[in-house]
Amino acid sequence: MTEKSGADILIEALGDLGVEVVFGYPGGAVLPIYDALFRHNAAGGRIKHILVRHEQAATHAAEGYARSTGKPGVVLVTSGPGATNAVTGITDALMDSIPMVVITGQVPTTLIGTDAFQEADTVGITRHCTKHNYLVKDPAKLGNTIHEAFHIATSGRPGPVVIDIPKDVQVATARYTKPGPIRHKTYRPQVKADQSAIEQAVDMLAAAERPILYTGGGIINAGPAASQLLCELARITGAPVTSTLMGLGAYPASGPQWLGMLGMHGTYEANLAMNKADLIVCLGARFDDRVTGRLDAFSPYSRKIHVDIDRSSINKNVRVDLPIVADVGHALEDMVRVFKARRHPKPDLAEWWRMIAGWRAVKSLDFAETGSEIMPQRAIRALWEATHKRSPIITTEVGQHQMWAAQHFGFEGPNKWLTSGGLGTMGYGLPAAIGAQLGNPKALVIDIAGEASIQMNIQELATAMQYRLPVKIFILNNEYMGMVRQWQELTYSSRYAESYSDTLPDFVKLAEAYGWKGIRIEGNDQLDDGIAAMLDHDGPVLVDCRVAKLTNCFPMIPSGAAHTDMLLASSEVSGEMDDEAKALV
C-alpha cells in the first residue's frame, strides 16, 4: 500500500465520508491541504471549496449548509487568527446542536509552545466550545481521527468537532485505509428509549386534562420523519403544540393545534398554556432561560416529561418527573405506536381548548398601522404572502427582525428556518444563506436582516457573487440596533447609548458595487412591488426596506419575569391581558 501525505489522507478521507462542500480560507499553515485539494479536483474529484471572505463566515455558512441539508458542515482554516476567527461560529454550532467539522492548520509540532508566527493553542481555546477536539501529531492516526470526528459530530446530540493538524503532519507520509463503522470506546449515545418510560409517558398523556407538546430543535435534527411523527402524536392526543425558536417548522404553522412560538417573544396563548398546563411533554428542547422565564414561577401546576438525547440536558435547568434519554425521533415513533396499541381514546380536552381559545382571542401578534410608514411586522407578512407557496429557506441575523420573522413568517416544514438561537450571533444570516443555497441550489433562500447585523459579515456579498448564488437579502432598516434600543427604552429610561446607527451605507449602491441588484422600499405603496422585483431577479438581490424606527417587538417577557408578566403591544392592551388572564385562569 502506497504511503500518502497527511494532506492527501485528509482529502481522501473527506471524499470517503461523502463531503461535497468545504467552506474555508487559505493560509500558510494549511497550504499543503489546499494543494492536495487542488490536485484532487484536477484529477476529477468532487469536493467543492467555497472561498469565504472571513473565517467566521465559513463556520456560519457550514451551519446553514448543515441545518438545511441534514449533512455535516465542513470548514477549513489556517492557524492562529484563522482558527480564532472561527471560534464564534464553533460556539454558535455547539449552542444550537449543529453538526460541523472544523479543520484548522497548526504550526509544525517542533514549534508548538514557542509562540511561533500565527501560533495559537487551538485545542485549548476550543475545548469548551466544541463537542470534542483533536491535535493530530501522527499522520498514521489522521485518517481514523477524521472518520471518528464526523461520527462524533453527527451522532447523539450533533455539534462541532475541531481537528488541529500541524503543518509537518500534513507533509509527512503514512498509509491510509478507509475504516469500517466507528465504535468509540466511551461515546455511545443512547438512541432508543426505555420501553417502560415510553409506556409511562403515554399513560400520562392519556390522563392529562391540560397537556402541551413543547418542541425544540432536536426534532429538526432527528430528520423529516420526526416532524411527521410529531404531527401524528398531536393528532391522536389532541394536545396543543408550541415550539422554541430553533424548533419552528417541526409542526406546521397552519396546523389547528399550533399555538405559535413560546418564550420571551412568544405568543400569549403559548406562554399562558405552558403556565397553566398540567402536563408538559418536552421533545428535543432544553428548558433554556428564554423559554422558562423566572424558574420558580415556570409552569407551577404541571408534571413534566423530558425527551432528549443529551443526558446532561435533563434536570439541568428544570426538574422533571419523567426523564427519557433517547433520540426524539425514535421516542416519538414509540409513543405513537404505544398510544395506538393501547387503544387509548382521544382525550377530551374541550375545556382546555376553550381556555386556549380565550387566550388566542387576545391576538397578541396584532399591531397598529398608521399612514404610509412601513411597520416591520407588515413587511414580514408581505414577504410571507409573496413567497410561502415556494417554501423558501429563511435565514436571519439577530435582533428585532429575527423575532418578527419568527412571529410572522409561518413555517410549514422542517429545515426551512435557519437562525442563531443559543448564542444570538449577529452576522449569522448572510453566510448561513450562502451555505443553504449551496446545499439547495434550486431553493429560494432569503436572509431577513437588520441594517446593523448585516454589516457584521457584509463582505460575504462577494462570496455569493463569485459562486453565482441567487441569495436574497431583505433588510428591515430602522437605523437602530433595534433590540438594544428596545431594552434601553424599557429598562434604561430611553437612554439610547450607542444603539443608533449614525452613519449607514447606501445599501443599494453597496449592493451594486458587489455586483448585486439593489432595491430600496420606502413606503407601504412600494412594498409589494419591491418584493416582486426582488423575486423576479434571478441573481442575488439586496432590499433596503425602510421601516418604522421606534417600533418595539411584542409580546415580550422581561428578563427574569414569569410567563404571566408578559408585556404586549400597548399599555391599554396589556391591561386587557391582565383582566383576560384573571378571567381565564
* pLDDT at residue 575, rounded to an integer: 35
| Residue 573, pLDDT above cutoff 60 | no
The greatest distance separating any two alpha carbons of the chain, rounded to the nearest whole angstrom, comes to 78
Q: What grid cell was written down for 384?
A: 410571507
**Annotated catalytic residue, options 3, 117, 412, 576:** 117
The mean per-residue pLDDT over the stretch 37-47 comes to 96
CATH 3.40.50.1220 fits 195-360, yes or no: yes
Alpha-carbon span 87 to 96, nearest angstrom: 14
Q: Which CATH number fits domain 4-174: 3.40.630.10, 3.30.420.40, 1.10.10.10, 3.40.50.970?
A: 3.40.50.970
* pLDDT at residue 538, rounded to an integer: 96
Alpha-carbon span 210 to 359, nearest angstrom: 14
| Residue 291, pLDDT above cutoff 70 | yes
Residue owning grid cell 427519557: 324
| Residue 571, pLDDT above cutoff 90 | no
**Annotated catalytic residue, options 4, 167, 276, 472:** 167
Known catalytic residue at 118: yes
Known catalytic residue at 3: no
Q: Do domains 195-360 and 376-546 have the same CATH topology?
A: yes
Q: Quick check: 82 and 53 in contact, CB under 8 A?
A: no
* pLDDT single digits (tens) 344-388: 888 999 999 999 999 999 999 999 998 889 999 999 999 999 999
| Residue 290, pLDDT above cutoff 60 | yes
| Residue 409, pLDDT above cutoff 70 | yes
Q: What grid cell was written down for 62?
A: 457550514
* pLDDT single digits (tens) 419-447: 999 999 999 999 999 999 999 999 999 99
DSSP code for 113 = T
User: Taking the domains of the chain in order of start, what are their residue ranges?
Assistant: 4-174, 195-360, 376-546
Worst-scoring range by mean pLDDT, 181-190, 243-252, 453-462, 465-474? 181-190
The mean per-residue pLDDT over the stretch 24-44 comes to 97
Beta-carbon contacts of 89 under 8 Å, excluding residues fewer than 6 positions away, are 55, 56, 58, 59, 60, 62, 63, 75, 100, 425
The mean per-residue pLDDT over the stretch 541-545 comes to 98
pLDDT confidence tier of residue 570, bands split at 50, 70 and 90: low
* pLDDT at residue 182, rounded to an integer: 87
Known catalytic residue at 55: yes
pLDDT confidence tier of residue 156, bands split at 50, 70 and 90: very high
| Residue 583, pLDDT above cutoff 50 | no
Known catalytic residue at 117: yes
- DSSP lists the bridge partners of residue 417 as 394
**Annotated catalytic residue, options 20, 48, 71, 118:** 118
Known catalytic residue at 351: no
- Determine what percent of the chain is predicted with pLDDT higher than 70: 97
**Annotated catalytic residue, options 4, 12, 55, 131:** 55
pLDDT confidence tier of residue 480, bands split at 50, 70 and 90: very high
* pLDDT single digits (tens) 93-131: 999 999 999 999 999 999 999 999 999 999 999 999 999
Distances (CA, A) of 440 to 85, 229, 256, 392: 26, 24, 30, 10
E strand spans, 340-425: 393-396, 417-418
pLDDT confidence tier of residue 582, bands split at 50, 70 and 90: very low
Q: Quick check: 98 and 160 in contact, CB under 8 A?
A: yes
The mean pLDDT of the chain is 95
Domain 376-546 adopts which CATH fold?
Rossmann fold (3.40.50)
